[in-house]
């Protein structure tokens, strides 16, 4: 990589200052949190949605993929769209359309119509998170940036851990329809806040005339297709499926074409030389590694309690709400205080080390673990969520020209949203493959220990003898098979925690390669480090 330098590529992204910055910050919180909570709830509540809409397994799987892929398609381009059209146009009317669609979807029973509305719903939802970044960069005074970026960063961990409790409450207490209807309420409120808090800006006709539409379409389509291939890979047997091969190959070719396009087009939309700056390049890599190591919190803990402990979302949600969401709220002021006084690389290292420690504790799990056993892990993960993403973004911002934030915001979205969704798909594959490996190895041990197995089957047959002699042996064999599968799953989750530990250590190594950010409004004086 090249030496550290300030990147000043891409269109100027400075707009009119807001008149009510507090309202703009609240809009940041609502829009970003709604997008993450909605995505989280969709994945957790998919089984309930399939039952409510009377969908087959395949239809439910494609509905989920379509929802997320459409968000990934639009998200990288939103920063440029906000620069050209202004935030009111990007968030105002689209928020109201989003609210109407959210109200209508629960009443739809025709699958093609449901799929179409889900894609539109995802496209609109995908505008909210990157648009909140642009509210910060374009319209807030710099003195508000640290708090606003902190809110933007905190809502990631907040929504991931708040989602299970919210899904359980909606499904069990007031109705699954509120998985969608809550969006309508929040979207309308956000539209009002944006209208009051964000200024009206004229259309940037110069940027519109030189628009790099090809680059936007290539990047969005490429990432969305790669995600769809990875998300459906487990279900369709990966390279054994022509659909998966076509999605992955086409997506990869589109991404290659995107980088070629950005290198040759006269006015590139997301200039690729952002990636050649030492600190920004390494910071983007650390964002990806943070996303992957945080899977120990967003995926492994709740999924273990669901698949092995057989708990419902509302049961796992109490654990995450009490021991992750609440501590994050308490730690947030501390993270701001630390970042105002110390080198952000120190805060980042603390966050990654706590994630690594949590992952190590996770390698000690057994099938007997209940939610209470995960409390130390979840507490450490709350520290990691609070102290990791915000300093990475500050490091990258401090090494860029904040008045040209369009390209920067595009790549942030690629690493955050694309990395998160692709990471979930890859983690699902890792768990499936490791479960198969451990099941095979345990099966070999069962075969070798024939005497002990026979003794166990005899005890189980005696236990099931009340069901009749003909049913006792099949029930005993089924119980033994279930034990093997359960332990295989436990061992697979242990391997997954080891994998997130490796990601955390890799994040620490890349953090060590980042040089001190230049002095500026987002970094403390050198004497404070």
HEC per residue, 491-529? HHHHHHHHHHHHHHHHHHHHHHHCCCCCCECCECCHHHC
Domain assignment of residue 5, yes or no: no
Are 423 and 295 within 8 A, CB to CB? Answer: yes
CA distances from 89 to 285, 439, 449 (A): 32, 54, 69
- Per residue in 24-51, is it b (16+ CB within 10 Å) or e — as a string? bbbbbbbbbbbbbbbbbbbbbbbebbbe
Classify residue 2: in a domain, yes or no. Answer: no
Contact 389, 156 (CB under 8 A): yes
Asked whether residue 106 falls in the same domain as residue 145, the answer is yes
Do 357 and 243 belong together in one domain?
no
Residue 400 in 3-state DSSP? strand
Directed axis angle between helix 375-398 and helix 313-320, to 10°?
Answer: 60
User: What pTM does this model have?
Assistant: 0.82
**What is the model's pLDDT at position 79?**
76
Reading phi first (left if > 0) and then psi (alpha if -120 to 50, else beta), residue 11 is in beta
Residues 284 and 189 in one domain: no
DSSP-derived secondary structure for 192-203: HHHHHHSPP---
Q: Is residue 6 part of a domain?
A: no
Q: CA-based Rg of the chain, rounded to a whole angstrom? A: 24
The verdict on 33 and 76 lying in the same domain is: yes
403 shares its domain with 315:
yes
Domain carrying residue 177 = 11-211
pLDDT number for residue 3? 42
Residue 111 lies in a domain: yes
Give the pLDDT score at 6: 44
One domain for residues 232 and 245:
yes
Structure tokens at 439: 């099941």
Residues in the chain: 529
Report how far residue 529's alpha carbon sits from residue 526's, in angstroms, rounded to the nearest whole number: 5
The number of folded domains in the chain is 4
Do 327 and 424 belong together in one domain? Answer: yes
Distance between CA 337 and CA 322 in Å, rounded? Answer: 24
Question: Do 19 and 151 share a domain, yes or no?
Answer: yes
Beta-bridge partners for 400 = 7
Q: Are residues 174 and 25 in contact, defined by beta-carbon separation less than 8 angstroms?
A: no
Report the CATH number that the domain containing residue 32 is assigned in CATH: 1.20.1250.20
- Token output for 182: 């809550």
Q: Answer whether 62's CB lies under 8 Å from 115's CB.
A: yes
At a CB cut-off of 8 Å and minimum separation 6, what does 61 contact? Answer: 232, 235
Rounded distance between C-alpha atoms, residue 145 and residue 336, angstroms? 11
Residue 366's region, left for phi above 0, alpha for psi from -120 to 50, else beta, is beta
Tokens read off for 351: 């966050």
Q: For residue 369, is it within any domain?
A: yes
pLDDT in 10s for each residue of the chain, 529 residues: 444 444 444 444 555 566 676 776 677 677 777 777 777 677 777 777 888 888 888 888 898 889 889 988 988 888 788 778 877 888 888 889 999 999 999 999 899 999 999 999 989 888 877 777 777 777 777 777 788 788 778 777 777 777 777 877 887 788 888 888 988 898 898 888 878 877 777 888 888 888 889 988 998 999 899 989 988 887 888 888 999 999 999 999 999 999 898 888 887 877 666 666 778 888 888 988 999 999 998 889 988 998 888 887 777 888 888 999 899 989 999 999 999 888 999 999 999 999 999 999 999 999 999 999 999 999 999 999 999 988 988 888 777 765 555 566 666 767 776 677 778 878 888 998 899 899 888 877 666 556 666 666 666 666 666 656 566 667 666 676 778 888 899 999 999 999 999 999 999 999 999 988 777 666 776 644 4
Domain end among 164, 192, 211 = 211
What 3-state class would DSSP assign to 126? coil
The conformation of residue 206, written as its DSSP 8-state character, comes to H
CB 92 within 8 A of CB 56: no
Same domain, 62 and 151: yes
Same domain flag for 261 and 291: no
Q: Residue 436 to residues 233, 235, 400, 484, 488: CA-CA distances in angstroms? A: 16, 15, 46, 11, 7
Cα(483)–Cα(308) distance, rounded to whole angstroms?
A: 11
Instruction: Give every CB contact of residue 448 below 8 A, 6+ residues apart in sequence.
Output: none
The answer to whether the beta carbons of residues 279 and 514 sit under 8 Å apart is yes
Tell me, yes or no, whether 103 and 174 share the same domain. yes
The answer to whether position 3 is within a domain reads no
The whole-number pLDDT of residue 4 equals: 42
pLDDT of residue 8: 45
Nearest-angstrom CA–CA distance, 378 and 305: 13
Do residues 186 and 205 share a domain?
yes
Structural domain contains residue 442: yes
Residue 4 inside a domain? The answer is no
């Amino acid at each position: 990589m090249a030496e550290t330098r300030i990147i000043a590529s891409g269109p100027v992204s400075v707009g009119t200052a807001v008149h009510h910055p507090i309202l703009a910050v609240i809009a940041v919180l609502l829009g970003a949190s709604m997008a993450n909570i909605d995505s989280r709830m969709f994945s957790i509540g998919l089984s309930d949605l399939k039952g409510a809409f009377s969908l087959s397994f395949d239809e439910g799987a494609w509905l989920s993929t379509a929802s997320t892929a459409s968000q990934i398609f639009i998200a990288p381009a939103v920063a440029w769209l906000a620069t050209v059209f202004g935030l009111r146009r990007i968030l105002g009317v689209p928020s109201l359309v989003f609210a109407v669609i959210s109200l209508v979807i629960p009443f739809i029973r025709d699958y093609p119509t449901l799929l179409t509305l889900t894609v539109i719903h995802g496209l609109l939802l995908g505008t909210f998170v990157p648009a909140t970044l642009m509210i910060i960069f374009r319209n807030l005074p710099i003195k508000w940036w640290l708090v606003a970026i902190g809110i933007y960063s905190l809502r990631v961990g907040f929504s991931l851990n708040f989602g299970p409790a919210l899904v359980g409450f909606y499904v069990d207490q007031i109705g699954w329809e509120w998985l969608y209807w809550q969006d309508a309420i929040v979207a309308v409120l956000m539209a009002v806040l944006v209208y009051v808090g964000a200024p009206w800006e004229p259309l940037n006709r110069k940027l519109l005339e030189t628009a790099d539409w090809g680059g936007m379409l290539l990047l969005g389509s490429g990432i969305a297709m790669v995600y769809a291939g990875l998300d459906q890979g487990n279900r369709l047997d990966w390279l054994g499926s022509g659909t998966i091969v076509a999605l992955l190959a086409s997506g990869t070719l589109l991404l290659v074409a995107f980088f070629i396009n950005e290198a040759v087009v006269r006015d590139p939309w997301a200039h690729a030389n952002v990636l050649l700056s030492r600190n920004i390049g390494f910071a983007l890599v650390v964002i990806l590694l943070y996303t992957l190591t945080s899977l120990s919190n967003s995926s492994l803990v709740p999924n273990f309690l669901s698949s092995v402990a057989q708990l419902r979302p509302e049961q796992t949600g109490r654990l995450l709400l009490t021991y992750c969401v609440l501590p994050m709220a308490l730690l947030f002021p501390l993270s701001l205080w630390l970042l105002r006084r110390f080198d952000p690389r120190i805060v980042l290292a603390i966050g990654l080390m706590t994630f690594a420690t949590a992952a190590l504790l996770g390698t000690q799990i057994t099938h007997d673990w209940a939610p209470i056993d995960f409390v130390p892990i979840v507490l450490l993960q709350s520290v990691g969520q609070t102290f990791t993403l915000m300093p990475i973004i500050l490091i990258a911002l401090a090494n860029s020209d904040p008045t040209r934030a369009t390209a920067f915001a595009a790549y942030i979205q690629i690493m955050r949203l694309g990395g998160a969704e692709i990471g979930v798909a890859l983690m699902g594959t890792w768990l499936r493959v490791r479960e198969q490996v451990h099941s095979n190895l345990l099966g070999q041990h069962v075969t070798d220990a024939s005497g002990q197995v026979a003794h166990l089957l005899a005890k189980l047959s005696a236990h099931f003898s009340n069901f009749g002699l003909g049913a006792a042996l099949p029930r005993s064999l089924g119980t033994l098979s279930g034990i093997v599968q359960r332990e295989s799953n436990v061992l697979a989750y242990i391997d997954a925690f080891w994998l997130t530990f490796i990601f955390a250590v890799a994040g620490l190594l890349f953090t060590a390669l980042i040089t001190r950010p230049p002095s500026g409004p987002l970094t403390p004086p050198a004497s404070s480090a």
